[in-house]
Structure 1
């Protein structure tokens, strides 16, 4: 078989392979990007829970703690604050979103606890 006959039968094969392979590469890249965004949202949620527990442990109001939580974790966070003995617990939940566009029917959660400081007792001491 001559080189001209071989090249005419293979003509366009690279374009076809590229057209078949490109969607798979794009899908893998979107998957990696989505996982990275989910990880970043999870870290932000953990930071928000810790910031809120820290504010409440220092004796700040729950409004101040919620402002700190929302600045760290975002506005679409559900906040639950509870006190158990000397400890303050903050639980956050946030809906999972794929690439920030599509909301999935599940939530991610983060919790933090901190021992509450009693500064009023120190002021009464001589």
Structure 2
């Protein structure tokens, strides 16, 4: 009888069952952070490129850049600058708010 109380059969299975959800959670958060970082870099690059294109007066190509990454854009002109604000949702299984990027360039296109 005493031998059965000290038996640790099944303890590895129980520990695995407790640790598995934590491992999955850490993996999901890591993938979400990676996706957010990649989206932020793409947004900033697209905002800078489209601001330069809007500044040159090449509106069609600037809109194509924004549409190519699946973002929404708002364009504003202030004094001698054209500023582009981009917004896009973070892809992935974790629903997070949208990321935004802003870039301005000299307005030479009129």
TM-score (norm 2): 0.83
Task: Report which structure shows greater RCO (CA 8 Å, sep ≥6).
Answer: 2
* Residue 113 to residue 27, structure 1, CA distance change in 2 (3 Å): same
1:107 to 78, 98, 110: 98
TM-score (norm 1): 0.73
* Residue 103 to residue 64, structure 1, CA distance change in 2 (3 Å): same
2:86 to 92, 113, 117: 92
More strand by share: 1
State the match for 2:50 in structure 1.
52
1:41 to 14, 39, 42: 39
Q: 2:89·2:98 contact (CA, 8 Å) conserved in 1?
A: yes
Instruction: Give the total of aligned pairs.
Output: 109
| Aligned counterparts of 1:102 and 1:48: Cα–Cα separation in 2 | 24
Q: 2:32·2:94 contact (CA, 8 Å) conserved in 1?
A: no
1:70 to 67, 87, 94: 67
* Residue 53 to residue 29, structure 1, CA distance change in 2 (3 Å): same
Q: Which has the larger radius of gyration?
A: 1
- In angstroms, what is the RMSD of aligned CA positions? 2.5
Shift of 1:10: 0.5
1:31 to 29, 43, 66: 29
| Aligned counterparts of 1:45 and 1:27: Cα–Cα separation in 2 | 27
Runs (4 or more) in structure 1 with deviation over 4 Å come to: 101-104
